[in-house]
Amino acid sequence: MKVPARIGLLLAAGLAVGAGVPVAQSDHVKVDQVGYLPGETKFAVLTQEPTGDVLVRRVKDGKAVLAVIAGPPAADADSGDTVRSIDFSALKEPGEYFLEVPGVGESHPFRIGRDIYARPFRLAMRSFTGQRCGTSVTLAPDFPDYQYEACHLQPAQYHASSGKEGTRDVSGGWHDAGDYGKYVVNSGISTGTMLWAYELYEPRLRRLKLDIPESGGRIPDVLAETKWNLDWMLKMQDEDGGVWHKATTANFPGFILPKDDKSPVLVIGTGSAPFKNTTATADFAAVAAIGARVYRKFDREYADRCLAAAERGWTWVQANPNVLYQRNPQGIGTGGYGDGDASDERLWAAAELFRTTGKAPYKAYFAANYGKFSPTLKADSAQGWGNVSNLAMFTYALAGRRAEPTIVRQIRDDALKAADGIVARINANGYRMPLSSKEYYWGSNSVVANYGIMLLLAGRLQPKAEYRNAALDSLHYLLGRNAFNTSYVTQVGTKWAMNPHHRPSGADKLAQPWPGLLVGGPNAEGKTPPARQWKDETGSYTTNENAINWNAALVFLLAGVQP
Ligand SMILES: [Zn+2]
């Protein structure tokens, strides 16, 4: 939707302040409730007809600083809304503002400033602290009421599907989502995304304090939080190099606090030899290989341990290239994370191991196998836990001069073409967001964030303002500029998802949900309009759960867009 807006900066005394009756806030005026960066494009979405020019008013004194004409009405099929675009990009002055739309109402307040995403980033990062297993947790000092006692402290029992008997220490790690399970496949993309965010944006993140137990240590806080889960992943590797699928109770507990979940944690495998599987082991090898790069300058011994574990994992994958975990063993009802194709996971592992070590076998594996994915990156395919080939491609393209120039050129060309396609989709969408009509599935908000990541990574290969703006547009959707005029991140913005399918939020006595959680978002399941299929209800696990892989994508996006 192209909207040529007439924009006029108002004279200082041009408009009366607070004249007439106070205007009520309206859900028809949708903004990013956190705000906008000074130099970026700034759009709001209006879903009711205005009777005059839209005014941008300053919160502190009510002064109107800008008047714009809303764009023409357009039908947005995904939401069923009639939308008008409000372009107030001309406003660059830092401050707190709101929109006033005659005949409709006011927007939520929002800020313009360079530092506006610092708090959302902090909350999103600390949401991982809140997912920690096997230790007492507190979100003090900013959220002192949000705490729980140590959970799941008993040694885990080998389930019959694991091929072993007895117990194993698989303590630690992050609870996966609204449940308390721990799954290697989903830990893979989550931990990998976080480590990538650090690696790409280190100057911004290195000195950031998160007030976690490790703060003040030799490892930067962002990496220390991530190490909490990588340490757990290392415990899931068997002596033969293979990695078990998950460590969960047999079934999901009710809505109880973590410490009250007394069912035994089980180490769960495929049920027949070799019991470990290829997707989990290859994801593990990829992440441990990233860890070997990222932690090296802070802890050489740990980096060496990660690299050795990654290479042992790769050796196992070479010997067992296609062992799939497609369904839960008898008696197990927790998340499946089943995957019928391990070729993308193998490629990711090879690419990360190559980028970390430069060794010929990894380079050769990548060269011989990347061609299966053609084009290497596509505008309509974001990465997710079951589809990690994008990560393989980007990491190869970022591997430096040891990589094959013709392959790097191909990935770069495909990445830019994909990014151009995502940008085009955002520009054509009524809410300026990247999903196609078919992509409102389980966790659609994470697909939005992952498209944002693709735009930022394409921008690494070829910096372009429109990639950055489009990545920010993806974020604006998540933070309130959507059909529900609601921030999908808890305690971020003004009006946020109140009832995430998140057991601590459901079981504690606090009115507000735990902060910094990105909920799954609209999940159409064939129903229309797709963008409206979201319920802010605790029971709605298909639209309102949180998950570490979704929050990891949010962390990356927030890290990447900040100036
Ligand atoms: Zn736990």
What would the pLDDT profile of 203-243 be if each residue is shown by its tens digit? Answer: 999 999 999 999 999 999 999 999 999 999 999 999 999 99
Contacts of 469 (CB under 8 A, 6+ apart): 40, 41
3-state secondary structure of 420: helix
Q: Which of 211, 240, 536, 537 is catalytic?
A: 536
Please give the distance, rounded to the nearest whole angstrom, from the Cα atom of residue 38 to the centre of ligand 1: 42
- pLDDT tens digits for 70-90? 999 999 999 999 999 999 999
The average pLDDT across 20-46 equals 91
The average pLDDT across 260-287 equals 98
Report the pLDDT value the prediction gives residue 21, as an integer from 0 to 100.
52
Burial of residue 536 (number of CB atoms within 10 Å: 0-12, 13-18, 19+): middle
> What angle separates helix 444-461 from helix 389-397, to the nearest 10 degrees?
20
CA distances from 436 to 106, 163, 444, 466 (A): 29, 43, 10, 19
54-58 and 95-101 as β-strands: parallel, antiparallel, unpaired? antiparallel
- The CA 510 to ligand 1 mean position distance, Å, reads 20
Q: Which of 152, 159, 476, 501 is catalytic?
A: 501
Alpha-carbon distance of 349 to 255, in angstroms, equals: 36
Q: How much distance in Å is there from the Cα of 261 to the middle of ligand 1?
A: 8
CA of 489 to the centre of ligand 1 (A): 23
Task: Compute, in angstroms, the gap from residue 174 CA to the centroid of ligand 1.
Answer: 8
Query: pLDDT confidence of 22, banded at 50, 70, 90?
Result: low
Q: Which of 32, 53, 176, 179 is catalytic?
A: 179
Q: What gap in Å lies between CA 455 and CA 475, rounded to an integer?
A: 12
Sequence-distant (≥ 6) Cβ neighbours of residue 182 within 8 angstroms: 133, 170, 173, 174, 175, 176, 232, 246, 247, 248
Tell me if residue 309 falls in helix, strand or coil.
Answer: helix
d(CA 459, CA 331): 47
Per-residue burial over 185-207, b if 16 or more Cβ lie within 10 Å, else e, is bbbbbbbbbbbbbbbbbbebbee
Question: Tens digit of pLDDT for each residue in 395-428?
Answer: 999 999 999 999 999 999 999 999 999 999 999 9
For residue 150, report the distance from its CA to the centre of ligand 1, in Å: 7
Per the CB < 8 A criterion, the answer to whether 93 and 112 are in contact is yes
Rounded distance between C-alpha atoms, residue 78 and residue 74, angstroms: 12
For range 102-127, the mean pLDDT: 98
Strand partners, 29: 46
Structure tokens at 316: 């196992």
**Confidence (pTM):** 0.96
Express each pLDDT in 169-199 by its tens digit: 999 999 999 999 999 999 999 999 999 999 9
Work out the number of other CB atoms within 10 angstroms of the CB of residue 302. 18
Q: What's the confidence (pLDDT) of residue 14?
A: 37
Centre of ligand 1 to C-alpha 248, Å, is 9
The arithmetic mean of pLDDT across residues 463-488, rounded, is: 98
Q: How far is the CA of 42 from the centre of ligand 1 (A)?
A: 42
Sequence letter at residue 191: T
Residue 28 annotated in active site: no
Where does the pLDDT of residue 9 fall: very low under 50, low under 70, confident under 90, or very high at 90 and above?
Answer: very low
Identify the CA nearest to 407 among candidates 420, 395, 419.
395
Quick one: which H or E segment has residue 267?
Answer: strand 266-268
Q: From CA 448, how far away is CA 466, in angstroms rounded? A: 16
Q: Phi/psi of residue 96, each to 5°? A: -110, 135
**Cβ pair 225, 320 in contact under 8 A:** no
pLDDT digits over 369-403, tens only?
Answer: 999 999 999 999 999 999 999 999 999 999 999 99
Q: 296 pLDDT exceeds 60?
A: yes
Which uninterrupted H or E stretch holds 74? strand 74-76
Q: From CA 135, how far away is CA 63, in angstroms rounded?
A: 50
Question: What pLDDT score does 27 carry?
Answer: 98
H helices of 402-508, in order, are 405-428, 444-461, 465-478, 503-507
Residue 502 falls in the annotated catalytic set: no
SS3 421: helix
**179 assigned to active site:** yes
- Amino acid sitting at position 545: E
Residue 443: which region, alpha, beta or left (left: phi > 0; alpha: psi -120 to 50)? left
User: 539 and 501 in contact (C-beta within 8 Å)?
Assistant: yes
Instruction: pLDDT band for 526, please (50, 70, 90 cuts).
Output: confident
CA distance 74 to 76: 6
Kindly give the distance from the C-alpha atom of residue 260 to the centroid of ligand 1, in angstroms, as a whole number. 10
The DSSP bridge pattern shows strands 29-30 and 35-36 to be: unpaired
Residue-wise pLDDT for 118-152, tens only, equals: 999 999 999 999 999 999 999 999 999 999 999 99
554 — pLDDT class (breaks 50, 70, 90):
very high
Percent of the chain with pLDDT over 70: 96
Contact status, residue 482 vs residue 433, Cβ threshold 8 Å: yes
- Which tokens go with 387? 């589809």
Nearest to 50 by CA among 33, 69, 63: 69
Distance 299 CA to ligand 1 centre (A): 27
Could you tell me the distance, in angstroms and rounded to a whole number, from the CA of residue 218 to the centre of ligand 1? Answer: 26
214 is catalytic: no
Q: What is the pLDDT of residue 49?
A: 97
Q: How many A from CA of 507 to the centre of ligand 1?
A: 14
The reported pLDDT for the residue numbered 519 is 98
Mean pLDDT over each residue of the chain, to the nearest integer: 95
